[in-house]
Structure 1
């Protein structure tokens, strides 16, 4: 159930726990596990994401660590660090074009503005997408559907 909690970080309540997505990509089968938990005295939410892309013997592994929480301006921000040495920072915004309850973060990237969006799946779990901004709107280049993991 997609029910936001109280306080500034209550919007993350529907995402708490361990979630898994299995999908196909141009690089082969993709499994992504996302773990959301409150950390640092409940002042932040940490995301630990693990991607396994391709067949098991030759699979590429990719990981991300991100913190979500209040920035100096009082708004909710994210700070993301990935295993390929990249990092990004962005702020909470809305995505009513996707879903009225979407959790959306936008960031300025080297290639332009991008956003990641979480929104409720109609049956269970949630959807997640990454999009880049174009002159015509948003261009989606990845979308996953996450279900609760038996691990979490």
Structure 2
């Protein structure tokens, strides 16, 4: 089912938004300073091309370790990202979601566009993994938090 959903998604709009992510990624790489943003763009472009069965998750939630993208520097990076590219990508996904909501068949695609619009606002510090791996990472994080509470 994921494969069929991804194929239909790719043909009917996913390719356009994925290319938009690639465009902003190329602009970021051209500037040299924007290479971290460009990397995030290409990760999210792959997600935008084929989103079904995958999920964006914070790297700190996945690895249980903070890195530069999940620290305060990541917050600053996300603010800069939002100003230069995030707003435009989020608007693109939002407009695509509205056009998908018009038909009943398009509702699952509209929901994916809305998820991608949210990710467009702040992609720094996130990575894309399978839904199963994301659920396992969240479970492991909850287990660690529970152990920390019990240790008090």
TM-score greater than 0.5 by the shorter chain: no
- Which structure would you say has the larger RCO, counting Cα contacts within 8 Å and 6 or more residues apart? 2
As a proportion of its length, which structure holds more strand?
Answer: 1
TM-score normalised by the shorter chain: which range applies?
under 0.3
TM-score by length of structure 1 reads: 0.22
Structure having the higher helix fraction is 2
TM-score calculated relative to the size of structure 2: 0.22
